[in-house]
Structure 1
Amino acid sequence: MAENDSPQNNECPVARTLEAIGDRWSLLIIRDAFDDIRRFSEFQKSLGVAKNILASRLKTLVEVGVLDIVPASDGSAYKEYVLTEKGREIFPIVVSMRQWGERHLFEPYETRSVLLDNATGQPLMPIAVLSSSGQPLGPSECHRVRILAQQS
């Protein structure tokens, strides 16, 4: 990879996000963390992933600040992985991916998991991209520009 191609030099937020959390196992670990899975063995059982791959992905998620390692909540000698605030902010990404998959990757008769609102027991409203005035936007109604971050 050329120096200009490193994640730190890439000016595209999508590319940097994919570099940090975009592989299959990382996203599934994050999904499971939202379901309150916290221990290495629980992630391994849930995902069926090889231990070396799981250890590598957990290490990366800790390094990028998505997960923290904390003492076990039950007082045992185990450590647990918990989402940081940065990690919890990934929730809309996971929900958006889930909703896209529900719409496009299942036949009507297929069994699937559904995310429900705890307060109402109803499925969540579809995630939408909104303008600053609250209007729905599609790709043709917005554009990207380069900005120079302010020096602090």
Structure 2
Amino acid sequence: MAIGTGSDTETCYVIDSLEQIGSQWRLAVLHDLQEGEKRFNELKRSTGASSRTLSRVVDDLQEMGFVDRRLEEDAPVATYYSLTEKGESLCPVFDAIGDWAREWVAEEELEA
């Protein structure tokens, strides 16, 4: 659906959704956690985010209900992050975006 078409309510839902998950770092973390629970440093390496940025992003995602945080206090202390049910519900969305990208983005790169 193109923005500006359909009902105003549908458009608002699309915009609101993109505001929640649409930043580069939020998308990177959510996509990365589809593989399963990860430690902070694993997320840092795989996303390329700075510690400060990643800390802010995972806090935001946790506050919005997309990510769970688990602290393991045995030595060495470790913090683990995983998707909640709400976060896991985005997996089909990432699959659909991946399918679209393979068809359209890869095609554009071949034409260039």
Report TM bin, short chain: 0.7 to 0.9
Structure 2 counterparts to residues 2-151 of structure 1, below 5 A: 12-72=12-72, 76-107=76-107
SS in 1 for 2:69: strand
| Residue 14 of structure 1: how far off its partner (Å) | 1.0
Number of positions where the alignment pairs a residue of Structure 1 with one of Structure 2: 99
Q: Supply the AA of the counterpart residue of 1:104.
A: W
The structure carrying a bigger strand percent of its residues is 2
Q: Supply the AA of the counterpart residue of 1:80.
A: Y
The structure carrying a bigger helix percent of its residues is 2
Q: Are the counterparts in 1 of residues 37 and 83 from structure 2 also a CA contact under 8 Å?
A: no
SS in 1 for 2:55: helix
Distance of aligned partners of 1:87 and 1:106 in 2 relative to their CA distance in 1, 3 Å threshold: same
Question: Relative contact order (C-alpha < 8 Å, sep 6+): which is higher?
Answer: 2
> Matches of 1:31 and 1:62 in 2, distance apart?
15
Name which one, 1 or 2, has greater alpha-carbon Rg. Answer: 1
SS in 1 for 2:77: coil
TM-score (norm 1): 0.58
Pairwise CA RMSD? 2.4
Deviates more, 1:46-55 or 1:84-93: 46-55
> Matches of 2:20 and 2:81 in 1, distance apart?
17
Once the two structures are superposed, residues 38-95 of structure 1 have per-residue CA deviations (whole angstroms, 9 ceiling, x without a partner) of 11100111111121111111111000000011134x9852111111001100111111
